[in-house]
A and B are shown apart, each in its own frame.
Chain A
Amino acid sequence: DGGITQSPKYLFRKEGQNVTLSCEQNLNHDAMYWYRQDPGQGLRLIYYSQIVNDFQKGDIAEGYSVSREKKESFPLTVTSAQKNPTAFYLCASSIQGAYNEQFFGPGTRLTVL
């Protein structure tokens, strides 16, 4: 089955530790995205990548890093520099071009203790 997966669904970390969230897609999509969702707010773009080995900062990139070494994978690292890392993180992918529908993963809920 084609789709986009994120793991794990729930993640707990101590403050000060870096943590990497996984996102994999087998839809052959060129573009991939990371969003953060907080209560009462819309999804906010952290990073996006339109092609392998290239990525761009979104609106709230500070304290995060990404890599895009393979088309299928777009891992997000939440670093200790991120002041409020506890949130729900969603990964998405889409084909390139206009009218691109985004397909979302199931999300990872990160709690920093």
Chain B
Amino acid sequence: KNEVEQSPQNLTAQEGEFITINCSYSVGISALHWLQQHPGGGIVSLFMLSSGKKKHGRLIATINIQEKHSSLHITASHPRDSAVYICAVDSNTGNQFYFGTGTSLTVIP
């Protein structure tokens, strides 16, 4: 059983489309993170949130603590958004992160 589940696993979109990636988790958390991993392998942190909503450029992340669910939205998607998006939670029971398996996004021009 995975503590963090993401959907979909793979996503292909046309440039300009609105994209949503979902994340559900089953543990108590102090924070949830959205990470982006490009084909080269490096990972960058997009958002860290513990409640509500955050926006950075065309990216929006929301979290519902009661439902243990988060979404990552990309507006006006672009081919450079093509990457693997990983949801991770920072457990509140210890110094432990749990990672989803990632959503592989391909945006076609």
Residues of A within 8 A of B (CB): 31, 33, 35, 40-45, 48, 50, 88, 90, 98-107, 109
Contact stretch, chosen from B11-19, B54-62, B70-78, B98-106: B98-106
Q: Give the docked Cα–Cα distance between A107 and B45 (Å).
A: 15
Residues of B within 8 A of A (CB): 2, 4, 30-31, 33, 35, 40-45, 48, 50, 86, 88, 90, 92, 95-102
B70 to chain A, nearest CB (A): 15
Point out the residues of chain B lying under 8 angstroms from A104, CB to CB. Answer: 35, 42-45
Q: Give the docked Cα–Cα distance between A100 and B34 (Å).
A: 13
A98-B31, A99-B31, A101-B45 in contact; A106/B99 too (CB < 8 A)? Answer: no
Assess whether B41 is in contact with A99, with CB atoms less than 8 Å apart.
no
Q: Give the docked Cα–Cα distance between A104 and B43 (Å).
A: 6
Of all chain A residues, the one with the shortest Cβ separation from B30 is A98
Of all chain A residues, the one with the shortest Cβ separation from B94 is A56
Q: Give the docked Cα–Cα distance between A48 and B95 (Å).
A: 9
Q: Give the docked Cα–Cα distance between A54 and B97 (Å).
A: 19
Number of A-B contacts (CB under 8 A): 58
Of all chain A residues, the one with the shortest Cβ separation from B9 is A40
Identify B45's interface contact among A48, A90, A103, A109, CB under 8 A: A103
B11 to chain A, nearest CB (A): 15
Assess whether A100 is in contact with B4, with CB atoms less than 8 Å apart.
no
B48 to chain A, nearest CB (A): 5
